[in-house]
Amino acid sequence: MNGPTKMKTDPLSLVFCALGGLVLLFIVAPLASMCIDCSRPEFTETLQDAEVQNSIWLTLSTSMAATLVFAFAAVPFAYLLARKDFPLKGLVTGIIDLPIVIPHSAAGIALFGVVSRTGFLGKAAGQIGLSFVGTGAGIALAMAFVSLPFLINAARDGFLAVPVRLEKAALNLGASPSRVFFTVSLPLAWRPILSGLILMWARGMSEFGAVLIIAYHPMVTPILIYKRFGEFGLEYARPVAVIFIAVCLLFFVAFRFLAREKQHAQR
Amino acid sequence: MLSVERISKTVGALKLKDISLEVRPGSYLVLLGASGVGKSILLETVAGLVQPDSGRLLLDGKDITNEKIQRRRIGLVFQDGALFPHISVYANIAYPLRCKKLKASAIRQRVTELAEDVGVAHLLKRSPTALSGGEIQRVSLARALAGEPRCLLLDEPLSSLDTKARFEMRALLRKIHRRSRQAIVHVTHDYTEAVALATHVAVMEHGTIVQSGTVHHIFQRPKSEFVAQFVGIKNFFKGNLRDPDSGQGKTKHFRTDGLDFSVLTDGAPGSGFVCIRSEDVTISNGVFSGQDAATRQAHTSARNNFEGTILDIIPAGPGMEVIIDIGRDKPMELAAMVTSESVKSLGLHCGKKVSASFKASAAKYIEQ
């Protein structure tokens, strides 16, 4: 059996448990402390603050929009990466991971050069009356730039896990390549793709550096938290952070649950 | 109907070299070969999933070497069935029909017919993940037949099945072949499948076809040592199995060309084949008849004892193959593998009368 086995109380497992506990504490303690330190009146007042509400809605919606729009290109691209060999494939794979490793403020600067009114994309968009700097579209671009690798990598791994034999069988049964993609490959890789979509969406929501460069206004929640911390201090920033984390967690858990339900339904 | 002409293909370490085959309408060709000789690659090349490096494929006289996979009308049943796990059994069988954009009512009718034909009508709503190995192969077969292929390719369809499922699947393949005269190419490493199903056999070694012909031709006249070792059976008789007169026990009678063999088998009465390895046949000097024959029968565990004349003695690997004519009404050859010491000590030579014996358990019965 290759799966996890029931944990025994041997010394090595106990040592690993202790180390794991420390890691968990490191993640949970600051979040728990922040929630405990946030008083109820502060929390209620912030919850009713229109600026906070608008900011959270903007963050959720732009990240969702960025995820869905880019998925149309990213998922077929991931299929290509999983199934085809082509020159410089290694380089292409490396480029996809680039946004993960470069500092996000640097990514924002790079993107700004392209989408600003003097950049080629900004210029082209300007001709049809569209602007990226200081707009929701610009925020979505910044979020997508830093979070796309999560979707592409998850989708590629999902497609790789689909047996090529099944696609061959579908072709042999008379299906066109596009029919094979939509009726066999995509449904079988759906769960990893959904995980990738959730990850991309969540990563986009938490983006600060790149969005700050492209669009300080309208203000997404990470920037609002930073602004309140800088201008009014920890007490004003904390309730916004708690609410934002709670909303993100709520959606994250809900989507994960849906993804799991989908998997059970397929069994 | 299907002609494979000098197909060559290299995939990693696997090499197909100048493969030529002819599949006639209504024939059942079994492609025999050990694992890793390129049988599956050959099938995928014929199906169009792999493009050959050289050579060509003709179907009904038309060159299909570069024809699109979808237009070839060559069905392929994969070794593990390759059913789509995310859709029901019904949707799996309906898949090729939906590709043809048939009406829902026509699809329903055809799926129902096919499911009844292969015995999976009660499984249509199930998920393929909840099927047994035999059921998977039946559904996969129905799905391939739904595409109405001119030629059906089966890639080791019985290899992952247990004994009972294998027998049932063999019977189903025989039924389909007999009824529709569907041209079939069946790849396997198991010679008993060839005996049970094939009208023609081709033997593959090192990526090339080393011998092809009818079942009798291949089994009784192996062209090379490899073929002889691989098919391994020279004693190969067609006939009818019937229950013992007493109706008790598993030892049954097999009648072939005027001779009766005792055969230890669970097989049902009917026509079939009996195979006996030449290593399982023993030779003794002297001919027993009348009372002597009954005495001999009483003193040996071998249920099959025949008198015959040695026709030939052929060196075969480490031993000698002695061919004995045990026929009564017409010649019937039985091969026995003995050591060269036995040939000397028994004084065996062509024309000598000897007795040949083999046990009922050494006679392997294969249903036709």
Distances, alpha carbon A241 to alpha carbons A26, A64, A105, A248, B289, in Å: 18, 20, 21, 10, 105
Confidence (pLDDT) at A220: 94
Q: CB–CB of A174 and B82 under 8 A?
A: no
Q: CB–CB of B96 and A174 under 8 A?
A: yes
What is the C-alpha separation between B219 and B194, in angstroms, rounded?
Answer: 10
Confidence (pLDDT) at A265: 44
B187 alpha carbon, distance to own chain's centre: 9
Question: Of the given ranges (A10-24, B230-244, B249-263), which has the lowest mean pLDDT?
Answer: B230-244
pLDDT: which is higher, A35 or A74: A74
Confidence (pLDDT) at B295: 64
**A223 falls in which pLDDT band (50, 70, 90)?**
very high
Asked, for residue A20, whether it belongs to a domain, the answer is: no
B302's tokens: 């071998």
Residue A175: closest C-alpha in chain B: B99
Strand runs labelled E in B140-243: 151-155, 183-188, 200-205, 208-214, 235-242
Q: CB–CB of A169 and B47 under 8 A?
A: no
CATH number of the domain that residue A89 is part of: 1.10.3720.10
Nearest alpha-carbon partner for B57 in B22, B28, B91, B90: B22
Confidence (pLDDT) at A267: 43
- A:172-201 residues touching chain B, CB 8 A cutoff: 172-176, 179, 183-184, 187-188
* Averaged pLDDT for residues A243-252: 88
- Map out the domains of chain B as residue ranges: 2-232, 237-367
Indicate the fold that domain B2-232 takes in CATH. Rossmann fold (3.40.50)
* Averaged pLDDT for residues B197-215: 88
Q: Is the dihedral of CA B96, B100, B106, B107 positive or negative?
A: positive
Q: Is the dihedral of CA A177, B103, A169, B182 positive or negative?
A: negative
Q: Does residue A2 carry a pLDDT above 80?
A: no
Q: Does residue A157 carry a pLDDT above 90?
A: yes
Q: Does residue A193 carry a pLDDT above 70?
A: yes
Strand-strand pairing, B2-11 and B54-59: antiparallel
Q: Does residue B165 carry a pLDDT above 60?
A: yes
Strand-strand pairing, B363-367 and B151-155: unpaired
Confidence (pLDDT) at B116: 93
Judged by DSSP in three states, B173 sits in helix
A215's tokens: 């669009």
| Chain B hits for A173, Cβ within 8 Å | 75, 95-96, 99, 143-144, 146-147
Q: CB–CB of B70 and A171 under 8 A?
A: yes
What proportion of chain B, given as a percentage, has pLDDT over 90?
35
**φ and ψ of B358, to 5 deg:** -155, 155
Confidence (pLDDT) at A9: 76
Domain count, chain A: 1
Confidence (pLDDT) at A258: 74
- Closest by Cβ to A172, choosing from B75, B80, B85: B75
Question: Of the given ranges (A13-17, B276-280, B298-302), which has the lowest mean pLDDT?
Answer: B298-302
What is the C-alpha separation between B304 and B297, in angstroms, rounded?
Answer: 8
Separate counts of helices (H) and strands (E) for chain B? 10, 20
Mean pLDDT, rounded, of chain B: 86
Structural domain that includes position A93: 39-266
Q: CB–CB of B96 and A267 under 8 A?
A: no
Beta bridge partners of B256: B259
Q: CB–CB of B78 and A169 under 8 A?
A: yes
What is the C-alpha separation between B338 and A199, in angstroms, rounded?
Answer: 72
* Averaged pLDDT for residues A140-151: 94
Tell me the CA end-to-end span of chain A in Å, nearest whole number.
20
- A:17-56 residues touching chain B, CB 8 A cutoff: none
B44: closest CA of chain A, how far (Å): 9
- Are residues B19 and B4 in contact, defined by beta-carbon separation less than 8 angstroms? yes
Considering only the top CATH level, what class is B237-367?
mainly beta
What proportion of chain A, given as a percentage, has pLDDT over 70?
96
When scoring B45, B50, B86 by the number of chain A Cβ atoms within 10 A, the one with the most, hence best to mutate, is B86
pLDDT: which is higher, B237 or B286: B237
Residue B74 touches partner A, C-beta closer than 8 Å: yes
Confidence (pLDDT) at B290: 53
Asked, for residue A29, whether it belongs to a domain, the answer is: no
- Are residues B88 and B125 in contact, defined by beta-carbon separation less than 8 angstroms? yes
| Chain B hits for A158, Cβ within 8 Å | none
Q: Compute the CA torsion angle B284, B336, B238, B117 (nearest 10 deg).
A: 130
